Amino acid sequence: MIRTLLIANRGEIACRVIRTARRLGIATVAVYSDADTQAQHVKLADRAVHIGPSAARESYLDQVKILAAARDTGADAIHPGYGFLSENASFAEACAEAGIIFVGPPASAIRAMGLKDEAKALMQQADVPVVPGYHGSRQEGDFLRTRAYEIGYPVLIKAVAGGGGKGMRRVDKQIEFDDALAAAKREAASAFGDERVLIEKFVTSPRHIEVQVFGDSHGNAVHLFERDCSVQRRHQKVVEEAPAPGMTEGLRAKMGAAGVAAAKAVNYAGAGTVEFIVDGSKPLSDDTPFYFMEMNTRLQVEHPVTEGITGLDLVEWQLKVASGEPLPLAQDEITLCGHAVEVRLYAEDPENNFLPSTGTLHGLEFPEIHNLRVDAGVVEGDEVSPFYDPMIAKVIAQGADREEALDLLSDALSGTRVAGPKTNLGVLRRIIDDQTFRAAIFDTGFLDAWTPGQFTLSPTAGDLAIAAGLIALVESVSDEAEDLRDGAGLMAPSPWSLNDGFTMGRRPPTRYRLSVDGEAVERAVDWSQGGPRVVADDAMDAQADVSVTLPGGIEDGAYVLVDGIQRHIAFAVRDIAHVDGGAADSLARAPMHGRVVSILVSEGDSVEVGQTLAIVEAMKMEHAVKARIHGTVARVTAAAGEQVAQGALLIEIAAEEAAEAV
């Protein structure tokens, strides 16, 4: 058995692996970058080794540094987690050459399944059904456009070396193809160092159903049933559950057998996931068509739902197989019991196109409920960094059936509190309580059909957040806050510190200038024997789940959650400049903290509304910064490769009228 295990990863998966290793009596070694000096996986491991700067390519993706850390600490095995080096065949080979066990499949299997075009050809040979498309080597734009036309729109452009939705674009019309191809190639090159793509038919009403497989070095392979991961945004999974709703025993047997056939075709050993696209246009039946999409040659983020329905520890299985042991159970010994559902809690802003959100977790609390599991790599007080995936935690509920699991998860999300970065908590709550989702009527376009209003607070709920935050701030003010009086541009926060003719009968309402997520608003507070109340604010009587977090002094403001959606309410100690729409539209700013991938215009260039000016990348996703007015580029203040803060000015445009007047 492995004696000392180095985990070449971070966050919740590193913590997850460490806990199982500790239970098995295996010593653990963590690695960490500058950004993760105080990270939880560092604190949890028996030893920790610093491996470089915050950027992943200079730390967690540096094979030389990780192998050196393993040698220096006497580790005889490396667990790569998921992401980073987990599906890197050259790293698996380097481990073998160094005499270190790689807790994963052989390099040959990673390589065979790592390139989607070759993997699909291999699956066809193994009689595993694949989606119609072009998986060849030719990459000229004209050629691929022709193949897409022949396949028939809509099509998917997918990175050959891709995963996690990177380098993937859906194209519905031929006129959209060239732009989508360029974006997919650019994103694929950035994420995988390989810009090659393939073209596939887009299956109408697709459901994403995957099969968990396991193999060993003795020629055995089994499946551990299926998971449904159809609820996605931008091809990123949001909700995962096992088993798949509506699955028939006949279809389960066919998909399980196909998954095992795929594993055996590459002599697979360890944990893997065979992902299928299933026709969801009708209820599932024994004869429902399904198609091989790809195989992830590693442990998946959503593995806890499989553990929930099988009662097995998949990391334990990984470690035993890597140590040379046969699979612990045969296929007929693996049983399915109950239902499990997982949601991914991300630091992202649903009200701003789900852009990544960073900063200190001033509050993080999950309820303690039976059959609820929370896998997290952060705790209250930790920082959500712009350098890595924005996941805060996975919240997993298990029940005797789907309804019970969903009810439990709904209660758990209602009791979850997060303050600091914006999160998708409110969206998760709405999904789990959505009646269409509850009825299991969904496909991978489920969230695409939602209106923007379903991701945001209603005006009434927004007013409630302002009122709750203001009252909490006012009530928290002490005598030391006298500098926030009228002379600083703000009415005093407490009636007891005013000299305004206050009498025991009544005093005038106190007006406050506030910053609400950076926007200037004003509110008045009426003081009575019952305590402070926002004047003429019917929102205070609204029915909603509200929580307020005050992280420190009043200068830090209040973080208010209303039905899981956050507002930051702060006293505005100085006037907030009001910028008219035209002036604001002339300034192209970074939508989030990230790296400038490219600047696509120069000073003096003419630009049109909607034209892409720059590409900014954060947390492995690209965002196009587009022009909002016609005009001429007056100033470029950023360059490719720079790290920029959210809101940083990138490009200034002189409006068309102003340019003509010069």
Residues belonging to the active site: 298
- Which residues neighbour 249 within 8 Å (Cβ) at sequence distance 6 or greater? 286
Please, what is the end-to-end C-alpha distance for the chain in angstroms?
77
Q: Residue 204 CB: number of other CB atoms within 10 A? A: 11
- Which residues neighbour 416 within 8 Å (Cβ) at sequence distance 6 or greater? 345, 365, 366, 367, 395, 425, 564
CA–CA separation, 215 and 270 (whole Å): 5
- Which residues neighbour 175 within 8 Å (Cβ) at sequence distance 6 or greater? none
Place of tokens 């998966």: 13
- Which residues neighbour 331 within 8 Å (Cβ) at sequence distance 6 or greater? 222, 223
Task: Kindly list the strands in the beta sheet with 649-655, ordered across the sheet, starting from the edge strand earlier in the chain.
Answer: 587-589, 649-655, 631-636, 606-607
Both tokens of 639, joined, read 């360059």
CA neighbours closer than 13 Å in the CB half-sphere of residue 206: 24
By CB neighbour count within 10 A (0-12 exposed, 13-18 middle, 19+ buried), where does 479 fall? exposed
**CA-based torsion, 275, 280, 285, 291: positive or negative:** negative
Strands 558-562 and 236-242: unpaired
**What are residue 199's DSSP bridge partners?**
134, 157
Task: Kindly list the strands in the beta sheet with 594-599, ordered across the sheet, starting from the edge strand earlier in the chain.
Answer: 621-626, 612-618, 594-599, 643-644
CA–CA separation, 457 and 540 (whole Å): 15
CA–CA separation, 349 and 356 (whole Å): 6
Query: How do the residues of the chain divide into helix, strand and coil, expressed in percent and rounded to 5?
Result: 30, 30, 40
From residue 232, alpha-carbon distances to 239, 245, 297 in Å are 7, 16, 21
CA–CA separation, 292 and 287 (whole Å): 16
By CB neighbour count within 10 A (0-12 exposed, 13-18 middle, 19+ buried), where does 50 fall? middle
Angle (CA) 164-168-169 rounded to 5° is 145
Q: DSSP characters for 253-298?
A: HHHHHHHHHHHHHTT--EEEEEEEEEE-SS---TT--EEEEEEE-S
- 257 φψ region: left (φ > 0), alpha (ψ -120 to 50), beta (else): alpha
